[in-house]
Amino acid sequence: MKMFDIGFEEVESYLRHSGWRRSLAGPLAEMWHPQHDENLTVLVPKRSDAPDFSKSLKLLTTEVSRLENRSEAAIRLEISRQFVDVTDLRAEDSEIADGTIPLTSGIGLFNSAHRLMVSAAAAALQRQSYYGNSMPRAAYRHARRLRLGQTRPGSYIVPVISSAKFGALVTTAFDGPRLEASADDSYFERRMLTTLSRALETLSELTIESGRVPAKADVLDAVDEGVSSELCAAVLDVIGKGDVQVFDVTFNWAPNSSAPADVPEKIAFPGEAARLIEQIEGDLKEANAPAERVLYGVIRRLSLKKNDTAGHVALETMLDGKPRIVNFELPLDVYRRAAQYHGERRPVIVRGILDATPGRRATMKVKAFDADRSVASFDDLS
């Protein structure tokens, strides 16, 4: 299965992460060797527009395949996905084991792919139990950036491909860490997938691991993790009609970037979970909870006066595509973590009720605060 065209950056990234070392470098090509054998070398072409690039690339993958004792197809696939995250949506038919599924189930799987990504994009922007007509337009815009790969065997698998090619998110200025506005948008797809992974894990815990009908309070708490009525509907697109035995989602993070912290790689929903998910979908649709904005950024300033019971934080974030400072208070135990992240120049995530009236100082009543674990540490970002 071919993901994307292969260029020099993909080859360089693969060799570097596989323990190869650069021997010689020139304007048109480089020589690389395995870490422990400088006598074995491969030629790495640098100009993808050169007439012989494809031929040189073929020679390269053939030689790497021989040296690593793996198939050439596997080598090319791994090289091609150095800068992409691949989310595999898999449906397993309850009766047929030949890699096919009923037509209606296949349509549901493709519909689910779109609805899952839109709901995850919406939850990455603001937490809400039911979006309905208030679905953020940006959620559709971000979902349109994703690509579908070729379906492949393994029951029935649809891969959703998203970019994981990131710029420097945090830079250093004389007055402390600064958010690199031009790079912030490139991280959204990774944040969206991180949100999706946690939301599906939470939905699985509510419907499968608990072994009981979830209380409405637990259902509403799940909204904090990105669960929404729309997310439930997306899962039901696959298992709601009874033709699919198992629906699972697997996250394959790009080899070139650090995987998000503390998120599951695979979440599965058996067909019998449909009844409970339908109930949760209805509960969330009827809930009347306020929407909470989600902001990503870096801490610019901290302030804590003697005898204060809360610390003051100024966050640099992106609002409507422009950098803006949002001010809020944190209780002392959380404020100490904020001071730690500020010292580490680490990106953070904040969720709560935002007041960003134009012409006024932007403030937030914070519900949750933490490090932005969907992105790497500062050392990896700079």
Transcribe 306-335 into DSSP letters: TT-SEEEEEEEEEETTEEEEEEEEEEHHHH
310-326: string of b/e by CB count within 10 Å (b at 16+)? ebebebbbbeeeeeeeb
CA angle 258/16/68 to nearest 5° reads: 110
Is pLDDT at 257 greater than 70 in this prediction?
Answer: yes
Is pLDDT at 3 greater than 70 in this prediction?
Answer: no
Q: What percent of the chain has pLDDT over 90?
A: 66
Residue 127 Cα distances to 188, 277, 325, angstroms: 15, 19, 21
Model pLDDT, residue 104: 87
| Domain boundaries defined on the chain | 8-80, 84-286, 292-381
Reduce the DSSP state of residue 61 to 3 states and report it: helix
Pick the CATH number of 8-80 from 1.10.287.3510, 3.30.920.30, 3.20.20.70, 3.40.50.620: 3.30.920.30
CA angle 231/269/276 to nearest 5° reads: 70
98-125 pLDDT, tens digit per residue, is 667 888 888 999 999 999 999 999 999 9
Determine phi and psi for 145, rounding to 5 degrees: -75, -15
153-195 pLDDT, tens digit per residue, is 777 899 999 999 887 777 777 666 777 777 778 899 999 999 9
The whole-angstrom separation of Cα 282 and Cα 359 is 39
Q: What percent of the chain has pLDDT over 70?
A: 94
Q: If residue 369 lies in a helix (H) or strand (E), which one and from where to where? A: strand 362-371
In terms of DSSP H, where are the helices of the chain? 8-17, 53-68, 72-80, 103-125, 137-144, 181-184, 188-204, 216-222, 229-239, 274-286, 332-344, 378-381
Q: CATH class for domain 292-381?
A: mainly beta
The whole-angstrom separation of Cα 141 and Cα 129 is 21
Model pLDDT, residue 95: 64
Q: Supply the DSSP symbol for 212.
A: S
| pLDDT, mean over the chain | 90
Model pLDDT, residue 262: 87
Q: How many residues does the chain have?
A: 382
| Burial classification of residue 103, based on how many CB atoms lie within 10 Å of its CB (0-12 exposed, 13-18 middle, 19 or more buried) | exposed
Q: Give me the half-sphere count of Cα atoms (radius 13 Å) on the Cβ side of residue 117.
A: 27
Is pLDDT at 1 greater than 50 in this prediction?
Answer: no
Model pLDDT, residue 264: 92
Rounded mean pLDDT, 88-97: 79
221-241 pLDDT, tens digit per residue, is 999 999 999 999 999 999 998
Model pLDDT, residue 5: 76
* Residue located via tokens 């419907």: 207
Reduce the DSSP state of residue 16 to 3 states and report it: helix
Model pLDDT, residue 329: 97
The whole-angstrom separation of Cα 159 and Cα 250 is 9
9-35 pLDDT, tens digit per residue, is 999 999 999 999 999 999 999 999 998
The whole-angstrom separation of Cα 219 and Cα 341 is 31
Q: Do the two domains 8-80 and 292-381 of this chain adopt the same fold?
A: no
Model pLDDT, residue 315: 96
Residue 199 Cα distances to 16, 40, 88, 202, 221, angstroms: 34, 47, 16, 5, 11
Model pLDDT, residue 96: 58
- Among 84, 87, 62, residue whose Cα is nearest residue 73: 62
284-313 pLDDT, tens digit per residue, is 999 988 899 999 999 999 999 988 999 999
Model pLDDT, residue 382: 41
Model pLDDT, residue 36: 84
Tell me the pLDDT band of 57, cut-offs 50, 70 and 90.
Answer: very high
